[in-house]
Homo-oligomer: A and B are copies of this chain.
């Protein structure tokens, strides 16, 4: 997936389309019409070529999506001035990744990515791992701590994005309401107590609160 360091143009027919053009056009389709509209056939048509020509520049659709995420991260991730306090460095780096990812919901399809191993995201991972070490964790526990933060962040985005997609479909949104409507207060008293506030409460953006709690818990000496 990383561009080969030597472009080494081999002999033979000169290429008419480039990997870069493929990614760029794919990005335009995704931005303008959503990731659901990105098909190899559609992309080929946009480029003015055939579906099979694409397979000379990306190995398959999954690689195309990963390239798209790399490209997006590279263009939008901006490194913040790292705060002096390591705890804040961790929070700031995680929040920066979260902000960028949350702004592009199509990401969910790719997020699957083991650890968001985009080159451009590595600096943020470094900030988090280093911040945890500076807080007294061993390098091993710091890596585990980074993973926990990544789980929390990826989960927030996946859950939120899907909830938003569901909400768009009016007829489906009522399921939760029905379940909450006939809750048995003697069996589930707490849920009954908050039942009518559930929707607004879960609509609030509490990513940062949860992140701070998690980071606090991770660095607390136990």
Q: Which residues of A contact B (CB under 8 A)?
A: 1-2, 66, 111-115, 117, 119, 122-123, 125-126, 129-130, 133, 139-140, 142-145, 147-148, 150-156, 158-159, 161-163, 165-166, 175-176, 178-179, 183, 187-191, 193-194, 197-198, 201-202, 204, 206, 209-210, 212-218, 220, 222
Q: Is the beta-carbon distance between B217 and A123 smaller than 8 angstroms? A: no
Determine chain A's interface SS by DSSP, over half rule.
helix
Distance of A114 Cα from B169 Cα, bound (Å): 13
By a CB distance below 8 angstroms, the chain B residues around A140 are: 194, 197, 201
Q: List 20 A-B contacts (CB under 8 A).
A: A111-B159, A111-B162, A112-B166, A117-B176, A117-B179, A123-B188, A126-B190, A129-B191, A140-B201, A143-B198, A144-B206, A144-B210, A145-B210, A145-B213, A148-B152, A152-B210, A154-B158, A213-B218, A217-B217, A217-B220
How close is A149's CB to chain B, nearest CB, in angstroms?
Answer: 9
Q: Is the beta-carbon distance between A159 and B194 smaller than 8 angstroms? A: no
CB closest residue in chain B, given A140: B201
Distance of A162 Cα from B5 Cα, bound (Å): 29
By a CB distance below 8 angstroms, the chain B residues around A150 are: 155, 159
CB closest residue in chain B, given A143: B201
